[in-house]
Amino acid sequence: MSTEQEQQVTDTLERLHAADGVDAVEAIRVEALGKQGWISQLMKTLGKMSPEERQSEAPRIQGLRARVAEAVEDRKAALEAAALEERLASERLDLTLPAPQAPRGTVHPVAQVMDELAEIFADLGFAVATGPEIETDWHNFTALNMAETHPARAAHDTFYFPDRNADGYQMLLRTHTSPVQIRSMQDHGAPLRIIAPGRTYRSDSDATHTPMFHQVEGLVIDEGIHLGHLKWTLETFLKAFFERDDIVLRLRPSYFPFTEPSVEVDVGYATEGGRRVVGGDGDAPGHAWMELLGSGMVNRRVLEFAGVDPERYSGFAFGCGIDRLAMLKYGMNDLRAFFDGDARWLSHYGFGAVDQPTLSGGVGAPVGVGA
């Protein structure tokens, strides 16, 4: 009887050893140790034995059961370990594989042009000045010698806030960045060389006007500043900005309340494949003139308003749309697309996330030299 049982245990252990999967091991376990299994049946026979017989048989049968149970667990563990080994060997993680590209933003053309302006004018000794977009009517109009009756002050041209500030000034969204220059003169006095780029607002909206747009103004105050300084500075700036040496300017007399005399500046351009390309004499065949910016010698009344002595100092100033500069340099034709926030337009016209200003070698470098 016990030799037969020993044989059965040996068989079971051999079959367990040969079992090639967890399912096969489980089937063998049920055959031996399950409710109807042969070892479980043997256990039941203990109940029918005499106490003496049970005392000698019970440890033996429990021994059989323990050997089989242990063999089942060992085989299961061995098979699971082998399966894990196989997975580890086949599922290799290649850490040298390039990671998927994270989505990257791009530099907006307006931001790019602002960077370029800062770069060019830094070479000419200008600092970048900034100031509030919500202004008083004094800084935005009065200090710029704009009469109480000036049409630009009209409510249909300017965005006004309903309440006045603590000093009784009417508040508005600045219509140009000139108030930044007024504040700079008040804070720092003369001499001064600054550009003031930033957002400006006018109650205007059509194909060529957006209610928010970007402007850059420049201001130089020192002793002996004259119109020649203005012309040279604008010429040098435009040559660097458009990266061409053949920029030709035409200065026309004009009128602004804040400058006297006032000068409208045109630039010569050619039309190539339906695109305006800046450069060349506007009077040359196939060329024309385009109005690019307004400028002039700072009106002495503006210097007085800003606390600068007009007997000692003179200065020039200019103002220009940044959006317009971007359109001309990068061949964009629809101003409204600038502020639609359409990512497809940006990926077409935008610049890399870490783009540098495209200027070749700074002001004074020969055209075409540099990065």
Residues 262 to 301 in contact with ligand 2NL, rule: CB under 6 A: 294-296, 298
Residues 299 to 338 in contact with ligand 2NL, rule: CB under 6 A: 302, 317-321
Rule CB under 6 A: is residue 259 a binding residue for ligand 2NL? Answer: yes
Shortest Cβ distance from residue 226 to ligand 2NL (Å)? 15
CB 220 within 8 A of CB 315: yes
Give the nearer residue to ligand 2NL in terms of CB position, either 12 or 177.
177
Give the nearer residue to ligand 2NL in terms of CB position, either 258 or 351.
258
In the structure encoding, which two tokens stand for residue 276, read together? Answer: 């305006």
The H-or-E segment that residue 289 falls in is strand 287-298
CB 211 within 8 A of CB 338: no
Rule CB under 6 A: is residue 141 a binding residue for ligand 2NL? Answer: no
Strand partners, 271: 276
Closest CA to 30 of 45, 10, 48, 15: 15
- Please enumerate in sequence order all residues whose Cβ is within 8 A of that of 201, keeping only pairs 6 or more positions apart, or say none: 133, 158, 159, 173, 174, 175, 211, 212, 213
Give the nearer residue to ligand 2NL in terms of CB position, either 72 or 278.
278
Closest CA to 34 of 57, 6, 12, 50: 12
Separation of alpha carbons 130 and 177, rounded Å: 8
Give the nearer residue to ligand 2NL in terms of CB position, either 123 or 264.
264
One of 258, 269, 305, 338 touching ligand 2NL (CB under 6 A): 258
Rule CB under 6 A: is residue 121 a binding residue for ligand 2NL? Answer: no
Q: Which x/- pattern, by CB under 6 A, does the window 173-212 give for ligand 2NL?
A: -----x--xx------------------------------
Separation of alpha carbons 71 and 55, rounded Å: 25
Rule CB under 6 A: is residue 350 a binding residue for ligand 2NL? Answer: no
- Where on the chain is the footprint of ligand 2NL (CB under 6 A)? 178, 181-182, 215, 217, 219, 256, 258-259, 294-296, 298, 302, 317-321
